[in-house]
Homo-oligomer: A and B are copies of this chain.
């Protein structure tokens, strides 16, 4: 029987993607001291980088938000793999949003809202999180966005 959060995903017509293998010598999650750390997730879809490039350059705000949503779904996929049951999440504590961004770009918060809004929709009150949003000169595999997370776990 699926849990409450997975029922919510279904109601929103969202499907958890496969958890992506790490693209380096690390692991996708570590569960310690009541906290679940998730490694930085990229806007990968169907095994490829879906949204590459620079906000304020060749990537539109809308595409940046779509990239942030893909990152968020990949974060959730790792949490599912780590926990088995997403209902074990008691709180999304923290999202770090890294945006590949031009020097004169200033809408990093709107980009990362793509992830924040989606996770709030899915997790409800448990999705109310702290956040940073900053601009990077470049990101792994030329991704437009990278997002990591810390969850509190029962």
Q: Mark A19-33, 1 if CB is under 8 A from B, else 0.
A: 000111111111011
Asked whether any CB of chain B lies closer than 8 Å to the CB of A54, the reply is yes
**Smallest beta-carbon distance A86→chain B, Å:** 17
Contact for A140 among B39, B95, B106, CB less than 8 A: B106
- Assess A138 versus B93: contact at CB under 8 Å? Given A24-B116, A26-B131, A33-B34: no
Asked whether any CB of chain B lies closer than 8 Å to the CB of A80, the reply is no
CB of B137 within 8 A of CB of A24, answer no
**Smallest beta-carbon distance A74→chain B, Å:** 13
Which residues 128-146 of A have a CB within 8 angstroms of B? 128-142, 146
CB of A33 within 8 A of CB of B33, answer yes
Main secondary structure of the interface of A (DSSP, over half): mixed
Asked whether any CB of chain B lies closer than 8 Å to the CB of A88, the reply is no
Asked whether any CB of chain B lies closer than 8 Å to the CB of A18, the reply is no
**Smallest beta-carbon distance A15→chain B, Å:** 22
**Smallest beta-carbon distance A69→chain B, Å:** 12
- For the complex, what is the distance from the CA of A80 to the CA of B146, rounded to whole Å? 31
Asked whether any CB of chain B lies closer than 8 Å to the CB of A45, the reply is no
Asked whether any CB of chain B lies closer than 8 Å to the CB of A8, the reply is no
CB of A138 within 8 A of CB of B25, answer no
- For the complex, what is the distance from the CA of A94 to the CA of B106, rounded to whole Å? 25
- For the complex, what is the distance from the CA of A40 to the CA of B34, rounded to whole Å? 23
CB of A138 within 8 A of CB of B103, answer yes
